[in-house]
Structure 1
Amino acid sequence: MSVFLALQGGSVAAHDMNSRDRDGGIRALGRAPGVLPTGPLNAITDVTGVRVGQVTLNHGENIRTGVTAILPHGGDLFRDKVPAGLKVANGYGKLAGATQIIELGEIESPIVLTNTLSVGAAMEGVVRWTLAQPGHEDIRSVNAVVGETNDGGLNDIRGLHVRPEHVIAAIESATTGPVAEGAVGAGTGTIVFGFKGGIGTSSRQLPQSLGGFNVGVLVQSNYGGLLTIDGVPVGTEIGRYYLKDAVEAEKPDGSIMIVVATDAPLSDRNLERLAERAFAGLARTGAAYSNGSGDYAIAFSTHEGVRRTAARREEQAAVQEWPNDRMSPLFVAVAEATEEAIINSMLKATTTRSVVNGREVVIEALDMEQVRTILDRARPLSARP
Structure 2
Amino acid sequence: MKITQRLALDASTKQRARDLGLPFSGKTGSYNAITDVAGIEVGYSTVISDAPASGRGPARTGITAILPRGRSGPLRAPVWAGFHSLNGNGEMTGTHWIKEAGYFTGPIAITNTHSLGTVHQSILEWMIDKPDTSVGPYKFMLPVVGETSDAYLNDMDAFHVTAAHVKEALDGASSGPLAEGNVGGGTGMICFEFKGGTGTSSRVVDLLGSRYTVGCLVQANFGIRPLLKILGVPVGEHLTSNRLFAGEQGSIIAVVATNAPLMPTQLERVARRAGLGIGRTGTPAGDGSGDLCLTFSTANLTTSESATAPAVGDLAFLPNNRLDPLFEATAQAVEEAIINAMVAAEPMVGREDRLVAAIEHDAVKEVMRNYGRLNV
- TM-score scaled by structure 1? 0.89
Which residue of the other structure, out of 262, 265, 284, is the alignment partner of 1:266? Answer: 262
Spell out, residue by residue over 1:51-89, the C-alpha distance to the aligned partner (whole angstroms, 9 max, x if none). 1000000121621000000011121221x1110000001
Partner amino acid, structure 2, of 1:67: I
CA RMSD between the two structures: 2.2
Say yes or no: does 1:31 pair with 2:22: yes
2:163 alignment partner in structure 1: 164
Spell out, residue by residue over 1:106-145, the C-alpha distance to the aligned partner (whole angstroms, 9 max, x if none). 0101000000000100001110011110143697311111
Spell out, residue by residue over 1:233-290, the C-alpha distance to the aligned partner (whole angstroms, 9 max, x if none). 1100112699xxxxx9633121000000000000111000001101111111111301
Unmatched runs of 5 consecutive residues or more in structure 2: 52-57
Asked whether the 8 Å contact 1:73–1:302 carries over to 2, the reply is: yes
Matching of residues 215-294 of structure 1 within 5 Å: 215-225=214-224, 226-239=227-240, 250-294=246-290
Q: Using the alignment, how far apart are the partners of 2:107 and 2:259 within structure 1?
A: 17
Unmatched runs of 5 consecutive residues or more in structure 1: 1-6, 243-247
1:245 alignment partner in structure 2: none
Matching of residues 1-385 of structure 1 within 5 Å: 8=2, 14=5, 16=7, 22-34=13-25, 36-60=26-50, 62-74=58-70, 75-78=73-76, 80-136=77-133, 140-207=139-206, 211-225=210-224, 226-239=227-240, 250-303=246-299, 306-310=300-304, 314-315=309-310, 316-355=312-351, 359-381=352-374
SS in structure 1 at match of 2:28: coil
SS in structure 2 at match of 1:310: coil
Asked whether the 8 Å contact 2:7–2:178 carries over to 1, the reply is: no
SS in structure 1 at match of 2:140: coil
Percent of paired sites with the same residue: 40
Q: Using the alignment, how far apart are the partners of 2:115 and 2:362 within structure 1?
A: 36
Q: CA deviation at 1:378?
A: 1.6
SS in structure 2 at match of 1:206: strand
- TM-score scaled by structure 2? 0.91
Q: CA deviation at 1:167?
A: 1.0
Q: Alpha carbons of 1:162 and 1:324: their partners in 2 closer, same or farther (altered >3 Å)? A: same
Spell out, residue by residue over 1:12-57, the C-alpha distance to the aligned partner (whole angstroms, 9 max, x if none). 75554677863412101112322x2000100000000011000000
Q: CA deviation at 1:94?
A: 1.6
Q: Alpha carbons of 1:364 and 1:326: their partners in 2 closer, same or farther (altered >3 Å)? A: same
SS in structure 1 at match of 2:238: helix
Spell out, residue by residue over 1:283-331, the C-alpha distance to the aligned partner (whole angstroms, 9 max, x if none). 111113011111101000011xx22331598312222211101110000
Partner amino acid, structure 2, of 1:178: P
SS in structure 2 at match of 1:307: coil
Q: Alpha carbons of 1:378 and 1:122: their partners in 2 closer, same or farther (altered >3 Å)? A: same
SS in structure 2 at match of 1:321: coil
SS in structure 2 at match of 1:199: strand
Spell out, residue by residue over 1:145-197, the C-alpha distance to the aligned partner (whole angstroms, 9 max, x if none). 10000000100111001112211211111101111100000000000111100
SS in structure 1 at match of 2:354: strand
SS in structure 2 at match of 1:45: helix
Partner amino acid, structure 2, of 1:261: A
Q: Using the alignment, how far apart are the partners of 2:214 and 2:173 within structure 1?
A: 19
SS in structure 2 at match of 1:238: coil
Give the paired residue count. Answer: 362
SS in structure 2 at match of 1:127: helix
